[in-house]
Amino acid sequence: MARQQATSCPRNAGAERPLRFLFLEPETTEKSTEPSETEGRMETQMIVVMRTGADPDQIAAVCELIRGEGLEAFVSEGQERVVIGVVGTEIDRVSHVGTLPGVEQTIRVTHPYKLTSLEHHPDRSRITVGPAGNSIPIGAGAPLVVMAGPCSVESREQLFATARSVHREGAAILRGGAYKPRTSPYAFQGLGEPALQILADAREETGMPVVSELTDPAQLDLFDHHVDLIQIGSRNMHNFVLLRAAGQTRKPILLKRGLSATIEEWLMAAEYILSSGNSNVILCERGIRSFDQSTRNTLDLSAVPLLRELTHLPVVVDPSHGTGRRPLVGPMSVAAAAAGADGLIIEVHPDPAHARSDGDQSLSFPEFGSLMDELRRLEFLRSGDANRLVAAAEAGDGSIQDLRARIDELDAKLVNLLEERAQLAVAVQDAKGPAGHGHDVERERALMKRAVDTAGGVMEADELQTVLAAVLRASRSVQRRHAAAVDPPPTALA
């Protein structure tokens, strides 16, 4: 934590992740629009395996078909059979070659996606979201980006309250659905255009870029105006008209994985957008359908490191839709960050129990705050706000400095008190003698009860109890260690 806070981290400086995750980070550079060295290099795309004993006319017919489509065919004669290597970029033109007489099977040896592939673009892409001067970099080793907000924009009050809260907690991008593709036509469908205006107003106030889902190519102009990151939702991952439309804008696209899409189908969907002219695509793993009904979806976190091997595009994870269950969102966010995700997108609501969509998976404000604390504690997240406060204090804001000095003094006293308490616990252990063990559960219960009864200041009962429980745990471990030192266990087992 101390190391993190001391590290200044300007947004576009290509900041590194904690050292322990370096193994996930190959060489990175800023996104380049230059063609890569591998582009245009001719390699075998497909192998056509002929049946044993295929006759020369059949082999000639296969070669003719391949060459007739402008591709090259290289024949190798083995002991038993002939194989034909197919070289050229438009391999799909001969995808029917397997139906010709004498052909046993065809094997594709390269990925069907090109622009999306790591081979085509060996440097990982960093994509920026938001207006120049206030943009958030995602991918290629940039710090983890947290996007947060409600599933749907329900009202100005709901969205502004959420925006202010998640901003204060350190989210970088605000989410909010305006057009909701719901399973039921009777469910809340989103506020539509007014929601986009509310999002744009919240961006104005907080400075956070916004992400929202596009469901129809006709909305594109509107989204170009109001939205910084355009989401294509799971249900539309196979909507090729929408994907091509997304290729027409220069705004970055957040492409969610289809409900039952393979990794290859997902990358092919990205290929639609890239090949239509927009290379600013961020992939979002959001769980896939599986046989198990205990979670809404099965969050495929292995997709994160797998995609690292296949594509240069950034990958973010949506643990809200990925699990559908509030208690699982925090742990899976941490796991996603550990797997190397470039970002997280998390649903947050002021009153999840009364959300108009996806309340079961939405975090309350305090729950989201605790998750952000946890991500900071584990050093997945930089402490931007803390840095700003330090800067303010250093700039001569006397009151913060003064308050912090008093807190430091109290912390020092607490450490001394804890030491004094531990020494008394050791004395109790000595008085009990080496055989004595166990502790007085009644006294501990009484202590906890007193804590509940006296709570009522800024600390709530459960916060006080958490601290006291930790003190008791530490005290028992000191006693146990002391008892073992006085009366060591036998060194070797008979």
Q: Which does 286 bind (CB under 5 to 8 A by kind): ligand PEP, Mn ion, none?
A: ligand PEP
The single residue listed with the structure tokens 């046993």 is: 104
* 82-87 β-sheet, strand order: 72-77, 82-87, 44-50, 103-108
* Minimum CB distance to ligand PEP, residue 208 (Å): 17
* Minimum CB distance to ligand PEP, residue 331 (Å): 19
* Minimum CB distance to ligand PEP, residue 300 (Å): 13
The correct pick among 102, 149, 233, 247 for binding ligand PEP (CB under 6 A) is: 233
Residues 29-88 close enough to bind ligand PEP by CB under 6 A: none
DSSP of 253-289: EEEEPPTT--HHHHHHHHHHHHHTT---EEEEE--B-
Residue with CB nearest Mn ion? 151
The correct pick among 256, 296, 308, 376 for binding ligand PEP (CB under 6 A) is: 256
Q: Which is nearer to Mn ion, 211 or 483 (CB)?
A: 211
Q: Which is nearer to Mn ion, 228 or 358 (CB)?
A: 358
HSE (side-chain half, CA atoms, 13 Å) at 44: 15
Query: Using CA of residue 304, residue 310, residue 316, residue 321, what is the dihedral sign?
Result: negative
Q: Which does 149 bind (CB under 5 to 8 A by kind): Mn ion, ligand PEP, none?
A: none
Q: Which does 296 bind (CB under 5 to 8 A by kind): ligand PEP, Mn ion, none?
A: none
DSSP of 279-343: --EEEEE--B--S--SSSSB--TTHHHHHHHHBSS-EEE-HHHHH--HHHHHHHHHHHHHTT-SE
Residue 254: exposed, middle, or buried by beta-carbon count in 10 A (0-12, 13-18, 19+)? Answer: buried
Q: Considering the rule CB under 6 A, would residue 296 count as an interface residue with ligand PEP? A: no
* Minimum CB distance to ligand PEP, residue 99 (Å): 37
Q: Considering the rule CB under 6 A, would residue 349 count as an interface residue with ligand PEP? A: no
The correct pick among 162, 189, 212, 234 for binding ligand PEP (CB under 6 A) is: 234
Residue 487: exposed, middle, or buried by beta-carbon count in 10 A (0-12, 13-18, 19+)? Answer: exposed
- Residue span binding Mn ion (CB under 5 A) among the ranges 150-158, 186-194, 202-210, 382-390: 150-158
Q: Which is nearer to ligand PEP, 136 or 299 (CB)?
A: 299
Residues 201-230 close enough to bind ligand PEP by CB under 6 A: 213
Q: Which is nearer to ligand PEP, 180 or 312 (CB)?
A: 180
The single residue listed with the structure tokens 């060996």 is: 122
* Minimum CB distance to ligand PEP, residue 165 (Å): 19
Q: Which does 233 bind (CB under 5 to 8 A by kind): Mn ion, ligand PEP, none?
A: ligand PEP
3-state secondary structure of 123: coil
- Residue span binding ligand PEP (CB under 6 A) among the ranges 96-104, 231-239, 331-339, 388-396: 231-239
CA atoms of 326 and 363, how far apart (whole Å): 6
3-state secondary structure of 70: coil
The correct pick among 126, 321, 356, 382 for binding ligand PEP (CB under 6 A) is: 321
The single residue listed with the structure tokens 């909701």 is: 180
E-assigned strand segments in 139-245: 145-149, 173-175, 210-213, 229-232
* Minimum CB distance to Mn ion, residue 321 (Å): 6
Residues in contact with Mn ion, shown as a per-residue x/- string from 265 to 304 under the rule CB under 5 A: ----------------------------------------
Query: Both ends of the chain: CA-CA distance in Å?
Result: 46
The correct pick among 73, 145, 151, 196 for binding ligand PEP (CB under 6 A) is: 151
- Residue span binding Mn ion (CB under 5 A) among the ranges 59-67, 102-110, 144-152, 330-338: 144-152
Q: Considering the rule CB under 6 A, would residue 190 count as an interface residue with ligand PEP? A: no
Amino acid at 41: R
Residues 259-288 close enough to bind ligand PEP by CB under 6 A: 286
Q: Considering the rule CB under 6 A, would residue 308 count as an interface residue with ligand PEP? A: no
- Residue span binding Mn ion (CB under 5 A) among the ranges 115-123, 151-159, 160-168, 441-449: 151-159
The correct pick among 177, 314, 319, 330 for binding ligand PEP (CB under 6 A) is: 177
- Residue span binding Mn ion (CB under 5 A) among the ranges 149-157, 298-306, 330-338, 472-480: 149-157
The correct pick among 154, 169, 358, 379 for binding Mn ion (CB under 5 A) is: 358
Interface with Mn ion (CB under 5 A), residue total 2
Look at residues 444, 433, 431 and name the one whose alpha carbon lies nearest to residue 476: 444
CA atoms of 157 and 174, how far apart (whole Å): 15
* Minimum CB distance to ligand PEP, residue 49 (Å): 40
CA atoms of 308 and 141, how far apart (whole Å): 12
Residue with CB nearest ligand PEP? 233
Length of the chain: 494
**What angle (nearest 5°) sits at the alpha carbon of residue 471, between those of residues 465 and 475?**
140
Q: Considering the rule CB under 6 A, would residue 149 count as an interface residue with ligand PEP? A: no
Contact between 172 and 9 under an 8 Å Cβ cutoff? The reply is no
Contact between 62 and 50 under an 8 Å Cβ cutoff? The reply is yes
CA atoms of 183 and 151, how far apart (whole Å): 14
At residue 334, what are phi and psi to the nearest 5 degrees? -65, -40
Residues that bind ligand PEP (CB under 6 A): 151, 177, 213, 233-235, 256, 286, 318, 321
Residues that bind Mn ion (CB under 5 A): 151, 358
